[in-house]
Amino acid sequence: MPEVQYAKVETYKQLAQQLRVDSIRCTTEAGSGHPTSAMSAADLMAVLAASFLKYDFEHPGLSNNDRLIFSKGHACPLLYSFYKAAGVITDQELLTLRKLGSRLEGHPVPKVLPWVDVATGSLGQGLACGVGMALAGKYLDKLPFHVWVLLGDSEMAEGSVWEALACASHYHLNNVIGILDMNRLGQRGETMLGWNGDAYAERARAFGWEAIEIDGHNYEAIERAYRQALAQTEKPTLIVAKTEKGHGVKLTANKDGWHGKPLSKEQAAEAIGELGGLSNMIVKIAKPEALPSKSKGAGGKGEFICPDYQGTYSTREAYGDALKILGGVFEDLVVLDAEVGNSTYSEKFAQAYPERFFEIYIAEQCMSGLAEGLSTRGKIAFASTFAAFWTRAYDFIRMAAISRADMRLTGSHAGVSIGQDGPSQMALEDLAMMRAVWGSTVLYPSDAVSAAHLVRAMIDRPGVSYLRTTREKTNVLYKREEKFPIGGSKVLHRSDKDKATIIAAGITLHESLKAFQELAKEGIAVRIIDAYSVKPIDRKTIQQAARETKALIVVEDHWPEGGLGDAVLDVFAVSNNGDNARDGGPATPPNVVKLAVAGMPGSGTPAELLNAAGISAKQIIAAVKAI
Residues recognised as catalytic: 364
CB atoms within 10 A of CB 157: 14
Phi, psi of 562 (to 5 degrees): 85, 0
- With CA atoms as reference, report the closest residue to 547 among 501, 509, 593: 501
Torsion of CA 254, 259, 262, 268, to 10 degrees: 0
With H, G, I as helix, E, B as strand and everything else as coil, classify residue 360: coil
Residue among 127, 9, 21 at smallest CA distance from 77: 21
Which is it for the CA torsion 160, 161, 167, 171, positive or negative? Answer: positive
CA atoms within 13 A on the CB side of 105: 15
Residue 246 buriedness (CB in 10 A; 0-12 / 13-18 / 19+): buried
- HSE-up (13 A, CA, CB side) for residue 202: 5
Exposure on the CB side of residue 392, measured as CA atoms within 13 A: 21
Burial class of residue 187, CB neighbours in 10 A (0-12, 13-18, 19+): exposed
Please count the other Cβ atoms lying within 10 Å of the Cβ belonging to residue 583: 9
Tell me if 212 sits within 8 A of 239, measured CB to CB: yes
Sequence-separated (6 or more) residues with CB below 8 Å from residue 303: 329
Omega of the bond leading into 110 within 30 degrees of 0 (cis): no
Q: Is 196 exposed, middle or buried (0-12, 13-18, 19+ CB in 10 A)?
A: middle
Quickly list H helices, 136-218.
159-170, 197-206
Q: How far apart are CA 344 and CA 470, in angstroms?
A: 10
Hey, which residues does 529 pair with through a beta bridge?
491, 503
